[in-house]
Every structure is written in C-alpha cells, then in structure tokens.
Amino acid sequence: MSTATSRSTQLGVEPLAGAIGAIVTGVDLADLDDATVEHVRAIWLERLVVFFRDQELDDEAFLGFARRIGEPVRYPFVQGFDTHTEIIELAKLPHETGNFGGIWHSDTVYLDRPPMATMLVAREIPPYGGDTLFANMYAAYEALSPGMQRVLDGLRAVNSSALADVSKTREDRIRDSGAGADHEYVAEHPVVRTHPETGRKALYVNVAHTQRFVDMTEDESRPLLRFLFEHSVRPEFTCRFRWRVGSVALWDNRCVMHNPVNDYHGHTRAMHRISLAGDVPV
C-alpha cells in the first residue's frame, strides 16, 4: 500500500448531527497528499461542513490548505493581511457588543459569483460561547411540499450587501479598513440553486442578504421570504460547533448557511477566514 493511500485511510469521520456536519480526525492539514485531499473533499461534499481539531497552522499553512481545496479570493468589505491578502481577521473584542456576520446567512450572496466555500481557523476563543450554527439547505428544500418546490423553482431573488441587519455587523471593520465602505453590491440568483458538483437542489435565500423576488416588490415578497427564512433553520436541519484554538472549519457555501452565536460579551473571539472562488449559481 502506498504512503498516500495509507494516510487517507487513517481519516476518521464523526458526524456532528443527523443532517449536517462532521469532525474529521487523523489528518494534519499542514501535510496533505493528494489522496487525503480527495478523501477530505468527498467527506465535505457529503457532510457539507467539516471540522478539524488541534491544527497547528500559521497563515501560510492555512492558505496552503485552502489552495488544495479551491482558489482563495479577497473579501470585498474587510482588508486582508498585508502578507496574505486573501485572509481576513474576524474578531470581537471585550468592549464590543456586535459580532461580525451575526445572523443566518450564506457568504456574499450579493456577488455575481459567490464563494463556493469558506474556511475558518480559530486563533483566540472566549472561555464560553462563540459557537457557530450551520444549516443544510438541501434538507430545507427537500422538506418543502411538491407544490412549494414548483413555485420556488421558477423564482429568482435580488440579494444586496446593504440590508441593515447584516451591514451593521461589519460597521466597525469597514470603518477601520475603509474597504468597500461606500459600495453596495447587488446580484440576482435563483431561489433554488443546483449544486454544480452533486447535482442536488438547495434553497438559496437568506435573511441577511435576500431583499425580494425579481419582478416583485419587497412588500409582495416579504410573506414568502419570511416563511423560507424560518423554515430553513429548523433544528433538524442544523448542527452546532464549539470552537477550540486550532479548530478549522470548511463549509460548502453553495448549500449551507451559518450563524455565529453572539453570547460571549466581555471576551475576545478571533478567527482567520478565507473564501474560495465559486461560480454563477444556476
């Protein structure tokens, strides 16, 4: 048996919940061969979000892992590090009350090509709290009635970066970095998108970014959108991950929403994030 094969077969998979999420064990993300990358990617496509504990990754190694999965891209609203521009810091400090992106969402759906995936590594965590919730949007779509699925399959939605509930969570970061502060991004995407790798359909609207349906007013769109927002985060579609320093998460932004829980006031939580380039949703 080759070295590559033996490394890959050492991986363990511990599901975190029924619908979504798994902790992958037996892997060093700083030392990956092709077979292990392929195995990790297969687990990720099946479980939608995967987690790795106790990883010793500096920013160069973190970026190296990201490049094995996809193409790192810059985030439009926060300045990346000078030495690694594709990496941004998401930090809530003891004196702050709001947390970055503290609402259910898929990342940057207001872009024409939203990222296919997002990666986080925990650098500093509070003594309690600061978990992240994840939701399976395949399951959200599949649990809808056939009639509702038919209605949604023909709809497109307008997504904006300027909706108040999410834009206020990045005000401090925009002020500090000046990145994209005066620009609103708007994109139209299908309400139900087909995953380009699995072929499965996923609900693709979220309370943070979806403004209305195309060719409808916000008032007309609001009742159905409100139902979809609430339906998509039903407990049976979700998992919850508790961070430790050195924990890494990789989630599929094409079929997953997430929500960082803001329950650790007076403490620091610092994460480094990388987004991976995606395609145009269809």
Residues with active-site annotation: 105, 107, 258, 273
Contact 101, 170 (CB under 8 A): yes
Max Cα separation, the chain? 62
**Radius of gyration of the chain measured on its C-alpha atoms:** 18
CB atoms near residue 60 (< 10 Å): 11
Main-chain dihedrals φ then ψ at residue 26, nearest 5 degrees: 75, 30
d(CA 126, CA 237): 26
